Amino acid sequence: MNSPKLIIVERDGALAGQVHELAREHRWLVRECRQADACMTILNEAGPAVLLLKAEKDLSGALALLTRAAEACAVCLFCEEKHDNPAQRALIAGMAYDLGATAVIFPPHMPSMVEDLAAGLMAEAIERDA
């Protein structure tokens, strides 16, 4: 079996920092990228994968990548902006789920929650790939 990959698309490294120890313990590869094409190249490699995708300033770009990646792996969309309006959060979450997101998370992104989510999604990915 090919090594499981945790693919992280973000600019600031915060999500990668939150799951680094978990990935090391489980011997998962952590692949950080900042561009959609690089992400898709990694996803085309064999083996189980989970994508942690942070929508920073370009929500439409993140949703476009989510659409492309969702057929290949589980995708968790992390919204960076607060979106205090519940209707706005519901609209964004609904669009993301319709496009194939496995989970949609709004701030705060608690480290334990990020780790639990990554671990659960990776366990499912490994089981599907077996």
The mean per-residue pLDDT over the stretch 87-107 comes to 94
- What residue ranges define each of the domains in the chain, with the CATH number in brackets? 5-124 (3.40.50.2300)
Q: How far apart are CA 88 and CA 104, in angstroms?
A: 13
Q: How far apart are CA 112 and CA 41, in angstroms?
A: 29
The mean per-residue pLDDT over the stretch 35-61 comes to 93
Q: Do residues 51 and 39 touch, judged by C-beta distance below 8 A?
A: yes
The mean per-residue pLDDT over the stretch 36-54 comes to 95
pLDDT at 2: 84
User: What's the mean per-residue pLDDT of the chain?
Assistant: 93
pLDDT at 85: 83
The mean per-residue pLDDT over the stretch 82-110 comes to 89
Confidence tier at 1 by pLDDT (50, 70, 90): low
More confident residue, 109 or 13: 13
The mean per-residue pLDDT over the stretch 62-73 comes to 96
Secondary structure (H, E, C), the chain: CCCCEEEEECCCCHHHHHHHHHHHHHCCEEEEECCHHHHHHHHCCCCCEEEEEEECCCHHHHHHHHHHHCCCCEEEEEECCCCCCHHHHHHHHHHHHHCCCCEEECCCCCHHHHHHHHHHHHHHHHHHHC
Predicted structure pTM score: 0.94
